[in-house]
A = this chain, B = another copy of it.
Amino acid sequence: MPPSTPADAVRASSPTKPTAGGEERFQRSDLAQEVAFLTARARGRGNALANRLLADLDLKVRPFSVLAMACSGTNPSQRELGSFLDLDPSQVVALVDMLETRGAIRREADPRDRRSKILVATEAGHELYAQAVQRTREAEEQTLHALSPAERDQLRELLSRIVF
């Protein structure tokens, strides 16, 4: 995927020529110190990159996440998946429908509760996931290129503690 805006294109194409002053000017603003701002930016750019790399598999990160859960061996119900991924139940059915139509996952009966349906990956789903994981690993590699391995672990650990 090409840079999303002309402005991005400018900045991406010539790091040596700060875009009419560059954005370093804003890095000291109060906003730029807020963790909320930093996480928003990180997720926005990480998402865009991952979507680009997943495009040749006809996947985006949202369906990829659902597939990953179905491949995890944890047998989540749709509602468990929904709360884990912060998705509305109606979004879950849309995503599951798509992946099921594609033959990547299956809805199975929950033996403990006939209202709920459990998600499992098919053979093809596991293969698709294997392909997709390579892409997302590459995306993470690029996203975190400025950090050492130890720092990456540290970041993971800190983020885990604030979201769980």
Contacts and interface: CB of A to CB of B under 8 A. Distances in A.
Contact of A74 (B5, B26, B46): B26
B46 A43 contact: no
A23 B83 contact: yes
Interface of A is mostly: helix
Interface string A53-87: 00000000100010011001010100110111010
Interface size range of chain A in the complex: 35 or more
A79 B161 CA distance: 36
Interface in A1-55: 4-5, 7-8, 11, 19-21, 23, 25-27, 29-47, 50
B155 A35 contact: yes
Given A7-B79, A23-B84, A41-B163, A35 B74 contact: no
Contacts of A36: 43, 46-47, 50, 61, 136, 139-140, 143
A159 interface: yes
A144 interface: yes
